[in-house]
Amino acid sequence: MKPSVESSTSDVWQFLQVYTPARIALGRAGHSLPTAELLKFQADHALARDAVYSAIDVKSFSEKLAKRLSLPVFSLKSRVNNRQEYLQRPDWGRRLSKESATFLNELNISESDICFVIADGLSADAVSNHALPVLENLIPQLQNLNWGISPIIIAEQGRVAIADEIGFLLKAKIVVIFIGERPGLSSPDSMGAYLTFQPKIGLTDDSRNCISNIRPAGLSYEMASEKLLYLLTEIKNRQISGVNLKDEMDLGLGEIK
């Protein structure tokens, strides 16, 4: 007996695939997806799962950051001991380990305008791939504006709020954390940036501004750097961040007729 050949039916909305990477108009094979589309889904699902369990090569990444940015780089840890704990106890990922907090306290460095934190989040690959290109674009611009910049911090097993404690201990007026976002089936390496004025332990998400989907297939490094510079300038000048600071960067670019 000859094996049956799959017969698939195309979708009339297939032309929309040009405008989005979302899974739409994939066609049908009987009551299911065509085999090729099903295999693509399974492969993308595997990439998303792998991203969650990916890890930063701290030694190599630290050396690369220090060399390319000409700034000190320190590696810290959250209160999480392993990836399973990270996924089950988000609260532990929001605070530094006792050893890391003590280390920052003993640095005893002077006050700065800004501190940059890089945390693995839910996709270490995202920050490993995208944080440095953004910082290489942004930091020289801040230095030209005479911003004081703290040492770069890598926070292993960190959540967004861990930056509040780091920024406070480093006496930074503003903290920016680059973190791997929750992987999607078409974006396993998306990076987010969260900006906070006067960081301290206990702040909530309404105190932060967020720029998301930083990656070549999303918000480009150049556009992300431009948006960051705009928001950082607004935060410094207006002394606010979060819901009180509206992003008006794209307003007024064209004449109203």
Residue-wise pLDDT for 63-113, tens only, equals: 999 999 999 999 999 999 998 999 899 999 999 999 999 999 999 888 999
Which neighbouring-strand residues pair with 180?
A: 191
pLDDT digits (tens, 9 = 90+) for 159-181: 999 999 999 999 999 999 999 99
Minimal CA–CA distance to 77: which of 62, 99, 51?
99
Minimal CA–CA distance to 72: which of 151, 153, 180?
151
Distances (CA, A) of 238 to 29, 125, 138: 58, 34, 20
Domains in the chain, please, with CATH? Answer: 58-244 (3.40.50.11240)
pLDDT digits (tens, 9 = 90+) for 13-26: 777 777 777 777 77
Name the pairing type of β-strands 112-119 and 152-156: parallel
Q: Which residues of 108-121 are buried (b: 16+ CB within 10 A; e: fewer)?
A: eeeebbbbbbbbbb
Q: Evaluate if residue 207 carries a pLDDT over 70.
A: yes
CB 75 within 8 A of CB 100: no
Distances (CA, A) of 8 to 4, 26, 175, 235: 12, 10, 52, 54
Q: Evaluate if residue 255 carries a pLDDT over 80.
A: no
